[in-house]
Amino acid sequence: MTTTSKVLSGVLVVIVLAATSLAVAISHTSACGPAPTLAPAQPMRAAVHRCYGSPDVVRIETLAKPIPSDHELLIRVHASSVNPYDWHMMSGEPYLLRPSSGWGAPLDVSLGKDFAGTVEAVGKLVTRFKPGDEVFGLGSGAFAQYLRSPDSTVVMKPANLTFDEAAAVPIAGLTALQGLRDQGQLRSGQKVLINGAGGGVGTFAVQVAKALGAEVTAVTNSGSLELVRSIGADHVIDYTHEDFTLRPEKYNLILDLAGNHPLSAYRRVLTPDGTYVIAGDISKGSWTGPVASLGKTLVVAKFVKQKLVAFIADINQADLATLADMLQTGKVKPVIDRRYPLEQIAAAIRYQETGHARGKVVVTVD
Ligand SMILES: NC(=O)c1ccc[n+]([C@@H]2O[C@H](COP(=O)([O-])OP(=O)(O)OC[C@H]3O[C@@H](n4cnc5c(N)ncnc54)[C@H](OP(=O)(O)O)[C@@H]3O)[C@@H](O)[C@H]2O)c1
């Protein structure tokens, strides 16, 4: 063996050892830590996960009521809703998330993002909200009686909406709105296909696309065909009987919430200048999960004429306000499949995780 090949072999061994150590470290899951034993002066009930795992690791514990900082609101939560995001945070999968969510165990033991509730107190620099306001938005730890949230991710709840309905909106509504209007540049009269139309994001997407003046084709399973028709879909395709990528129709835009076809198949049913937008997929791979499909879309986009886009929803107040207007005027109405009390949060996450909820799964907090 020459000196060069000895050095190269040594470097290769070091790289393999480093990659293996990183893989072991990133995929390591620690045992659940204990709950705190001191009783807080101002207690509340909250869902907590002190380790990564299935919904079985989620417990209801008594924690201290949060204290809002200068730019935050203290919200008394009336309802929340479950998103695939909560499952990712609970399970710590894909592992790629763990450098930010916590190696081995979650850095943030709380769960839940979407909420609707009443403002209980405001930080000293908050001017837009006051105690008693009925609001909805996003914060951390929404599966709880109280949460603190930045005032920039909250808007007033339209009076015609119940708290349950408002809690169904934030992540799913923003994803639908931004996927169609911003990423997809959907214009009136265009043909859009929504793959995954019967789920949380999909039921908002059908209605937002109609509100933007599009002709909507909704792809869903047999059990949700009537539902998507009832919220405005012009055409429906049952994916258990037919593969839409083999049909002759072409679409200006495909909003993909299932990611269950190859990119080449989606491109075949796009117009030559059409746009494909993927927000997520149904794969539950431990290592990369939906990140692989999103990444692949971005790479292929560099080499083809049609526009291919992968995106993560941007949490912002302006778009929450746009959704509030659409809800107020009745252009959009949240579709709620099931409601679970906070105490049954594990069952709520388990049901959402099936990937076949018809609309949103709401968690009610008394
Ligand atoms: N990028 C972002 O910022 C962002 C934000 C929110 C959500 N997401 C992602 O978007 C996706 C949808 O979210 P969601 O809240 O709507 O979840 P969801 O309510 O669980 O919906 C999942 C959808 O996938 C469809 N589906 C499941 N199995 C299928 C199959 N074998 N073939 C075709 N379709 C299938 C379901 O259709 P049926 O009900 O008809 O079976 C349903 O419409 C998830 O992957 C989520 O992670 C991304």
Q: Write the pLDDT tens digit of every residue in 256-302.
A: 999 999 999 999 999 999 999 999 988 777 878 888 889 999 999 99
Q: What is the pLDDT of residue 314?
A: 98
Dihedral angle sign, alpha carbons of residues 116, 118, 124, 128: positive
Residue nearest to atom 9 of ligand 1 (CA): 280
| Residue 19 clears pLDDT 80, i.e. is over it | no
Pairing mode of beta strands 251-256, 270-278: parallel
Determine the Cα–Cα distance for residues 281 and 254; give it in Å rounded to an integer.
Answer: 14
Q: Is 355 in the pocket of ligand 1 (CB under 6 A)?
A: yes
Determine the Cα–Cα distance for residues 269 and 136; give it in Å rounded to an integer.
Answer: 38
Q: Which residues contact 302 (CB under 8 A, 6 or more apart)?
A: none
CATH number of 172-310: 3.40.50.720
Q: What is the pLDDT of residue 290?
A: 85
Query: Please, are residues 136 and 126 in contact by the beta-carbon 8 Å criterion?
Result: no
Q: Is 196 in the pocket of ligand 1 (CB under 6 A)?
A: yes
Count Cα atoms within 13 angstroms, Cβ side, for 59.
Answer: 14
Q: What is the pLDDT of residue 34?
A: 83
Residue 277 DSSP code: E
Residue nearest to atom 27 of ligand 1 (CA): 355
Could you tell me the pTM of the whole model? 0.95
pLDDT band at 5 (very low <50, low <70, confident <90, very high): confident
Q: What is the pLDDT of residue 353?
A: 94
Q: Which residues contact 132 (CB under 8 A, 6 or more apart)?
A: 118, 119
Average pLDDT for the chain: 94
Q: What is the pLDDT of residue 292?
A: 87
In CATH terms, the superfamily for domain 43-169+334-364 is Medium-chain alcohol dehydrogenases, catalytic domain (3.90.180.10)
Q: What is the pLDDT of residue 39?
A: 83
CA 195 to centroid of ligand 1, rounded, Å? 8
pLDDT band at 14 (very low <50, low <70, confident <90, very high): confident
pLDDT band at 118 (very low <50, low <70, confident <90, very high): very high
**Sheet of 251-256, strand order:** 235-238, 215-220, 191-195, 251-256, 270-278, 307-310
Determine the Cα–Cα distance for residues 26 and 29; give it in Å rounded to an integer.
Answer: 8
Q: Which residues contact 153 (CB under 8 A, 6 or more apart)?
A: 137, 138, 139, 315, 316, 317, 320
What are the tens digits of pLDDT across the range 169-221? Answer: 999 999 999 999 999 999 999 999 999 999 999 999 999 999 999 999 999 99
Q: Quick one: what percent of the chain has pLDDT higher than 90?
A: 84
Q: What is the pLDDT of residue 335?
A: 98
| Residue 8 clears pLDDT 90, i.e. is over it | no
What are the tens digits of pLDDT across the range 55-105? Answer: 999 999 999 999 999 999 999 999 999 999 999 999 999 998 999 999 999
Residue nearest to atom 12 of ligand 1 (CA): 257
Determine the Cα–Cα distance for residues 87 and 354; give it in Å rounded to an integer.
Answer: 11
Query: Which amino acid belongs to residue 118?
Result: T
| Domain residue extents for the chain | 43-169+334-364, 172-310
What are the tens digits of pLDDT across the range 335-364? Answer: 999 999 999 999 999 999 999 999 999 999
Q: Is 257 in the pocket of ligand 1 (CB under 6 A)?
A: yes
Q: Which of 221, 240, 315, 353 to mutate to test the pocket of ligand 1 (most atoms within 8 A of CB)?
A: 221
| Residue 25 clears pLDDT 90, i.e. is over it | no
Q: What is the pLDDT of residue 26?
A: 79
Residue 67 Cα to chain centre, angstroms? 26
Q: Quick one: what percent of the chain has pLDDT higher than 70?
A: 99
b/e per residue 51-81 (b: at least 16 CB within 10 A): bbbebebbebeebebbebeeebbbbbbbbbb
